[in-house]
Amino acid sequence: MKLRGQRLVLLLILCVSGVNAFSLNREAFTFTKYDLDVRVEPEQQRLGVRGRLTLRNDSATPQKIAVLQISSSLDWRSIKAGEKPLQFVSQPYTSDIDHTGALSEAIVALPEAVAPKSSVDLEIAYEGIIVLDATRLTRIGAPTAQANSSDWDQINTKFTAVRGAGYVAWYPIATEAADLSEGKSLFDVLGRWKTREAASKMHLHIDVFRDDGERPPELVINEASCAMMYEAMGRSQIYSGDCTYQPLGLVVPTFVVASYEVIDRAAIQVHYLSGRNNAATNYADAAEKLVPFITEWFGGPRSKVRTAELADPEAASFESGSFLLTPLTGTDAKLAGLAAAHQLTHAAFSSPRPWINEGAAHFAQALYVQHQSGRQAALDYMQLHRSALSAAEQQTTAPRSEDEVNRSLVNTSDEALYRSKAMCVWWMLRDMIGDQALKKALASYRPDEDKEPSYMPRLIQAQTQRDLEWFFDDWVYRDHGLPDFKVESAFPRKTMTDEYLVTVTVANLGKAGAEVPVIVKFAGGEIVKRVEVRANSKGVIRIEVQKPPEEVVVNDGSVPESDMTNNTFKIEVADASK
């Protein structure tokens, strides 16, 4: 009855102030500070949280209402300001930002309107359970097994792993509804949230609690500075971690509770489950071997890399900086090396810009494959990424100029772009300016000095005589889609020295330019040269070969392209003797 009375009062407030649920500005506040006491009870699959939030009004108008959202499997217990309970309506809010496909949303009447740029402190309490739930995926038709391997978050006696915003809203967030059936909506909503929160601070105290006389399993948190403690009081035993994320950056606060064993080496720590000693050792060995190679490209590791095993062997891996959650089943050293290359790069090199941060880590994986198995193997590896990229680039049916800017590498929140496309961009830059110049540019990068999108491009430009502005324009500052190369003609001419000079004209039908390899093939061999072909332009190159040329191919696969079917040109050998 009390609750109903409160609701009525709040509804009156909402009506009087002329605000209705449809005009709520859910993204008005940035949560600049979290101070949360979290209690995890694996036996009950339960999470209970008490804490304090600081909300800053980043909108242009005073705000009388604040919106706080947690997973729909959690319930709000109290919301106060300065010890005074605030009235709030709690309602389910459908959104695919949470694994359950919905949020428990508290619409809170603030004690007074909060002016733009001003802040308000709230004391909060909520609790509930976090069980395996992939509703947001199954309701759009994903097969259950596949959905569960993707949304594996849960609190459970055997294995607990819970990721934050974008997976499980186990700490409060405030976002507009995300919809997985609408292409980019989840990426966009989550991207906006992370951008707003990047400078925020989160202090977490997590207690894993057992009262049956048993010691709780190990607690692992994705923040390197955590202080871990173990405490026993009679039958109650607590494993706790005290951590501060400052700033949050792009990190998604995550905790894992499992009966782990640990391999601890100089560069890496692997937390593994019983029976997986071989796979874990293999992983640690692979990582240790790679340290010199990664150091040469990206500098020495600034922190120890941490890997923790996911219990479900089918589970999708999750990374957070140099912390990786992954199944550890295989003992294939190359696969272990591939994962370690990415993780070690994060430990050595970081940037607040996803295209630099993730792009470099994926680029490192391609470099590792080349290092192990040669350039062709690296191009084949990148091909896997390029299919995701082509799909992402094709979604722009009628490109508008704002799309070019929004989808650019410097602005995008689309993973296919800031991972796969960025990897290709780093690879192309390396092909254009060479290893040494690119290594120097990377070594001169300082994340705290990266205030402008042009900062990194300028560092790269400083290492070469070539003008790269057109390249950054087409690939980094704007999204001009992908190039489409075509060998327009290839004329061979026999020289005085009995060799052949082939004049190749390459047309680029796309809106993004690139420097692309041109390969002239002849009996028993081939010659590769590179030609720069700007958007909607042609490039001409002359290539000398010793035997009659048979075929010309543009692009060895190192430049992502929208159409690779028009890249080969057959040369009639008879013509060559004319």
Q: Which residues contact 422 (CB under 8 A, 6 or more apart)?
A: 354, 355, 356, 358, 359, 360, 362, 363, 409
* Residue 178 vs 361, nearer CB to Zn ion: 361
Output the smallest distance, CB 320 to Zn ion, in A.
Answer: 8
Extract the runs of DSSP E, i.e. beta strands, from 472-524: 485-494, 500-508, 514-522
From 13-21, 136-144, 278-286, 353-361, span contacting Zn ion (CB under 5 A): 353-361
CB nearer to Zn ion: give 358 or 515. Answer: 358
Tell me which stretch binds Zn ion (CB under 5 A): 150-158, 351-359, 453-461, 557-565.
Answer: 351-359
Whether residue 73 contacts residue 87, with contact meaning beta carbons closer than 8 Å, is answered with: no
- Shortest Å distance, C-beta 324 to Zn ion: 9
Q: Which two tokens stand for residue 62?
A: 């005073």
Closest contact distance (angstroms) between CB of 222 and Zn ion is 13
Nearer to Zn ion, 310 or 543 (CB): 310
What is the closest distance, in whole angstroms, from the C-beta atom of residue 380 to Zn ion in the complex? 21
301 versus 510: smaller Cβ distance to Zn ion:
301
> CB of residue 269 vs Zn ion: minimum separation in angstroms?
18
DSSP 173: B
| Least CB distance to Zn ion at residue 54 (A) | 29
Cite the beta strand spans of 8-115 per DSSP E.
29-41, 46-57, 63-71, 74-81, 84-85, 88-94, 102-114
User: Minimum distance between the CB of residue 542 and Zn ion, rounded to whole angstroms?
Assistant: 42
- With CB atoms as reference, the residue minimizing the distance to Zn ion is 361
CA distances from 9 to 15, 16, 198 (A): 10, 10, 36
**194 closest CA partner among 51, 27, 345, 342:** 27
Q: Site residues for Zn ion, window 504-563 (CB under 5 A)?
A: none
What's the order of all strands across the beta sheet hosting 46-57?
84-85, 74-81, 119-129, 46-57, 29-41, 201-210, 236-245, 227-233
Q: Which is nearer to Zn ion, 344 or 361 (CB)?
A: 361
Query: What single-letter DSSP state applies at residue 546?
Result: S
| Cβ proximity to Zn ion, 72 vs 322, nearer residue | 322
Distance (Å, whole) CA 507 – CA 483: 10
For residues 307 to 336, the per-residue mask of contacts with Zn ion, x marking binding by CB under 5 A and - elsewhere, is ------------x-----------------
Contact segment (CB under 5 A) with Zn ion among 32-40, 207-215, 242-250, 355-363 equals 355-363
Q: Is the Cβ–Cβ distance between 361 and 346 less than 8 Å?
A: yes
Contacts of 2 (CB under 8 A, 6+ apart): none
Count residues near Zn ion (CB under 5 A).
Answer: 3
Q: Which is nearer to Zn ion, 319 or 479 (CB)?
A: 319
- Residue 35 vs 415, nearer CB to Zn ion: 415
Q: Is 361 in the site for Zn ion (CB under 5 A)?
A: yes
- Least distance (Å) from Zn ion to the CB of residue 378? 18
The residues of the shown chain that bind Zn ion, judged by CB under 5 A, are 319, 358, 361
